[in-house]
């Protein structure tokens, strides 16, 4: 396709439109978080704050132990991602390469399980967590999230492993690598994009999850950010502290966005390094 000036302008316009559409809610939150309290819900709408007011941020951390929430979210996210990816890689590799008897049936079973709506699982999960003594713990959340994400991880990773050429692995065995070493030193480096994609999506799921976190955790010590934001309240039930909520959203979203972007760039670097010239 020939790239004309007109074509490129149209493309840029389209990209800008999509970006504006997707970013608008977040920008609105960001602007709201910087408004003085009186302007947050002012009628007529005030789009730009008269002064930049950071007091909402201070109030968020005063009203609720948000530092703890963020730390909890981080720990649960990293734990879930690590556990899901580790188990997912092993299971997907086994399904893809070991020719397990009944492997196909098991895969379809796993897919079927993942189709259960989350709400159906809430009550049994709570009962299980209570019996296991995992109520109000981050471990309980990590286990629940891992269970929910594993089917997805296994399917994505298996699809990717299926496309990797087998004879590279066979060459590795002949060179003297064991199955585990082959997985670790050959298959995983070649699957970096799939593993990273899976990890990012699992982390985002865990970071944003509300329903299970709300059900299994009722104490601040293990509470995660989404629940924490929902618990922000005003002086009366009729008052919604929009400024604080917006501030909390910004504080908890930016680190994730930064992390994902950084991660993504490293993946792209990893893929292209040496492909052109080493």
Half-sphere exposure of 34 (CA within 13 A, CB side): 12
| CB 32 within 8 Å of CB 242 | yes
Q: Which stretch binds another protein (CB under 8 A): 5-13, 88-96, 251-259, 270-278?
A: 270-278
Q: Which of 116, 173, 180, 184 binds another protein (CB under 8 A)?
A: 173
Instruction: Select 186 or 229, whichever has its Cβ closest to another protein.
Output: 186
Burial of 127 (0-12, 13-18, 19+ CB in 10 A): exposed
Q: Which of 99, 101, 124, 176 binds another protein (CB under 8 A)?
A: 176
2 binds another protein (CB under 8 A): no
Minimum separation from the CB atom of position 99 to another protein (A):
12
CA–CA dist 86, 161 (Å, integer): 14
| CB 213 within 8 Å of CB 134 | no
Instruction: Select 44 or 176, whichever has its Cβ closest to another protein.
Output: 176
CA–CA dist 90, 84 (Å, integer): 10
Q: Which of 16, 19, 170, 261 binds another protein (CB under 8 A)?
A: 170
Burial of 8 (0-12, 13-18, 19+ CB in 10 A): exposed
Q: What is the sign, positive or negative, of the torsion defined by CA atoms of 9, 14, 17, 19?
A: negative
Q: Which of 58, 171, 221, 254 binds another protein (CB under 8 A)?
A: 171
Which residues within the stretch 149-168 sit at the binding site for another protein (CB under 8 A)? Answer: 165, 167-168
120 binds another protein (CB under 8 A): no
Size of the site for another protein (CB under 8 A): 19
186 binds another protein (CB under 8 A): yes
Instruction: Select 177 or 204, whichever has its Cβ closest to another protein.
Output: 177
Burial of 200 (0-12, 13-18, 19+ CB in 10 A): middle
Minimum separation from the CB atom of position 171 to another protein (A):
4
CA–CA dist 230, 240 (Å, integer): 10
Minimum separation from the CB atom of position 182 to another protein (A):
11
Half-sphere exposure of 91 (CA within 13 A, CB side): 19
Closest to 160 (Cα-Cα) out of 92, 100, 105, 108: 92
Binding mask 190-219 for another protein (x = CB under 8 A): x-----------------------------
Minimum separation from the CB atom of position 191 to another protein (A):
10
Minimum separation from the CB atom of position 104 to another protein (A):
15
Minimum separation from the CB atom of position 173 to another protein (A):
5
Minimum separation from the CB atom of position 132 to another protein (A):
41
Question: For residue 235, how many other CB atoms are within 10 A of its CB?
Answer: 7
275 binds another protein (CB under 8 A): yes
CA–CA dist 135, 127 (Å, integer): 9
Which residues sit at the interface with another protein, rule CB under 8 A?
165, 167-168, 170-177, 186, 189-190, 274-278
């Amino acid at each position: 396709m020939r790239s004309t000036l007109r074509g490129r302008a149209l493309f840029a316009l389209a990209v800008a439109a999509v970006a504006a559409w997707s970013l608008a809610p977040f920008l609105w939150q960001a602007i709201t978080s910087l408004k003085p309290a009186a302007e947050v819900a002012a009628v007529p709408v005030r789009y730009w704050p008269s002064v930049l007011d950071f007091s909402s941020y201070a109030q968020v951390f005063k009203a609720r132990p948000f530092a703890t929430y963020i730390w909890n979210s981080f720990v649960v996210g990293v734990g879930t991602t690590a556990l899901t990816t580790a188990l997912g890689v092993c299971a997907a590799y086994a399904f893809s390469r070991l020719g397990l008897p009944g492997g196909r049936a098991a895969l379809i079973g796993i897919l079927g399980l993942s189709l259960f709506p989350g709400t159906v699982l809430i009550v049994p999960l709570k009962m299980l967590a209570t019996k296991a003594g995992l109520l109000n713990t981050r471990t309980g959340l990590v286990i629940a999230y891992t269970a929910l994400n594993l089917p997805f991880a296994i399917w994505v990773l298996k699809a990717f492993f299926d496309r990797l050429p087998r004879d590279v692995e066979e060459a590795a065995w002949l060179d003297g690598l064991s199955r585990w070493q082959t997985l670790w030193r050959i298959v995983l480096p070649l699957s970096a994009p799939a593993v990273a994609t899976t990890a990012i999506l699992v982390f985002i799921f865990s970071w944003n999850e509300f329903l299970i976190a709300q059900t299994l955790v009722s104490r601040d010590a293990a509470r995660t950010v989404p629940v924490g934001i929902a618990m922000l309240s005003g002086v009366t039930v009729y008052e919604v502290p929009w400024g604080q909520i917006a501030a909390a959203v910004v504080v908890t979203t930016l680190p994730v966005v930064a992390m994902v972007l950084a991660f993504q760039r490293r993946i792209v670097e990893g893929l292209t390094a040496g492909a052109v010239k080493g």
